[in-house]
Amino acid sequence: MSRCVAVLCLALLYASPVSARVLEITVVSDATEARSEVARQESSQSFAGIAVKVSRPVDRAVALALHESATLLDTLGITTQLGTLSLDPVTAIAPQLNAAPKGSLLVLDLPLSLMERVATEADRLGRATVNVRHSDAYLRDALCLPTLFHTIPSDRMYFDALGQFLVFRGWRKILVVRGPSDQDAARAETLTASLRKFGATVEAVREFSLSHHPDDRDKNTPEFLTGGLSYDAVAVIDSDGDYGRYVQYSTRRPRPVVGDVGLKASGWHYALERYGAPQLNERYRAFADYPRLHGRAAMTDVEFAAWAAVKLIANSVGTLAADVPLDVLSILSDPASQVDLYKGTRGSIRQWNNQLRQPILLGSADAVIAVAPMPKFLHPTHYVDTLGIDQPESTCQLR
């Protein structure tokens, strides 16, 4: 009899955590941020209302990732819960974070300064957060928070991909043209470091001006801006996506334009035709509960990063024992966790700075020209770790 009771207790012991396993995701947004929730269209617009950058909330991508994972999670006895948290940036963050379920993954769809505050606060509370929006290098380096993960590529990963591509093509002499903002200056430095890493040379770094005043013609006329020296390609840094659009087809020498215009490095692209990508793109466009999107619509890099964060967890729970509680922080921290990214090479978390390692796409407006790492750029351990700050160079050494 006592043995029967013991067996029963054991059964209950094993059964209860299985039934209680819930994967909770909370999308955190800024209540004051003007983003087009209704139209779900481009929200960053230049003069005269012409859309130059696409910025959409990530909820569609997160919901898609949960939808894709439903059959597997159901098989494993895991239920999911998707919530949202709209933060008021002027009041204290910590009490607001407590409104989100305690074990939930916080997907931070926030402007940079607020994201940094929230991530720092969440780290203090021991809560897992994902940066899906900001590629800034310092978040992975100087900030270096143990519970903050980055599924969006870093600028260094984007530019390393571009640098490999240029060197692989034999275009080694690069003219860098950059915008006037602090962000442009910082990104131009990152680009320069990437180009040098792979043996390209920066012939000059020139700053453009949006002003049409004749005194500025050396800075505002592309022919002058790109004249007077020899180069194989022009790399444009224009974080606002404004002036840079006019550099293509206007350079003094007939050379390709890369960077923020022309050939761009990206985490995702609508025209990737291998690795199952067309199926993912179609699933995103036709996803129920959301408006049908047109044939060229695809996840932005930010949406793809949000999708990848949820998929990383869903793809990694299958190997967990059924009696182990579902802890998103330990799953994200586990070097064995991995995700099928539909880019030909699986992704996993770099243990030193919590960055998702992944291939980077090099695409024009209507085609994926190459998928980095480029051939012959080899890393001793991880195929994609020639992209981004590698462990020996990183000032962040988390694990």
Partner 1 sequence: MICVDLPVCRAIAFVVIILACAVPSEALPDTVVISNERSGNLHFMDRSGATTDVVALCGRPRGMAQGASGQTLFIACSDDHKVIEFDVGRREIVREIPDVPGAMSLALHASSGRLIVSNEGHSSAMVLDTSTGGVLATLATGLEPDGVALSDDGARIFIASENANLVHVYDGESYQPIHRLVTGLRPRRLALRGDELWVSSEMGSRVEIFDLNTYQKDGEVVFAPRGFRVEQLTPVDILFDAQQETAFVALGSANHVVFVNAESREIRKYILVGRRPWGLALTPDGEHLFVLNGLSDDVTIIDVARERPIRTSRTGLVPHAVEILE
Which residues lie near partner 1 (CB under 8 A)? Answer: 68-69, 71-72, 75-76, 276, 279, 282-283, 315, 318, 338-340, 344-346, 379, 381-384
CA distances from 187 to 32, 110, 260 (A): 27, 20, 11
Pick between residue 227 and residue 344 the one whose CB is nearest to partner 1: 344
Picking from 19, 52, 58, the residue whose alpha carbon sits closest to that of residue 35 is: 58
Pick between residue 248 and residue 338 the one whose CB is nearest to partner 1: 338
Min dist. Cβ of residue 292 to partner 1 (A):
16
Min dist. Cβ of residue 274 to partner 1 (A):
8
- The burial class, CB within 10 Å (0-12 / 13-18 / 19+), for 200 is buried
Pick between residue 190 and residue 315 the one whose CB is nearest to partner 1: 315
> Rounded to an integer, what distance in angstroms lies between the CA atom of residue 235 and that of residue 219?
15
> Rounded to an integer, what distance in angstroms lies between the CA atom of residue 147 and that of residue 76?
26
Min dist. Cβ of residue 71 to partner 1 (A):
4
- The burial class, CB within 10 Å (0-12 / 13-18 / 19+), for 126 is exposed
Pick between residue 223 and residue 282 the one whose CB is nearest to partner 1: 282
Token pair for 50:
């012409």
Pick between residue 231 and residue 377 the one whose CB is nearest to partner 1: 377
> Rounded to an integer, what distance in angstroms lies between the CA atom of residue 20 and that of residue 187?
46
Pick between residue 113 and residue 279 the one whose CB is nearest to partner 1: 279
- The burial class, CB within 10 Å (0-12 / 13-18 / 19+), for 155 is buried
Picking from 308, 319, 256, 252, the residue whose alpha carbon sits closest to that of residue 72 is: 319
Side chain identity, residue 12? L
Pairing of strands 348-349, 356-357: antiparallel
Pick between residue 2 and residue 75 the one whose CB is nearest to partner 1: 75
Residues 25 and 83: beta-carbon distance below 8 Å: yes
Min dist. Cβ of residue 271 to partner 1 (A):
15
Q: Enumerate the β-bridge partners of residue 207.
A: 178
Pick between residue 134 and residue 343 the one whose CB is nearest to partner 1: 343
Min dist. Cβ of residue 188 to partner 1 (A):
31
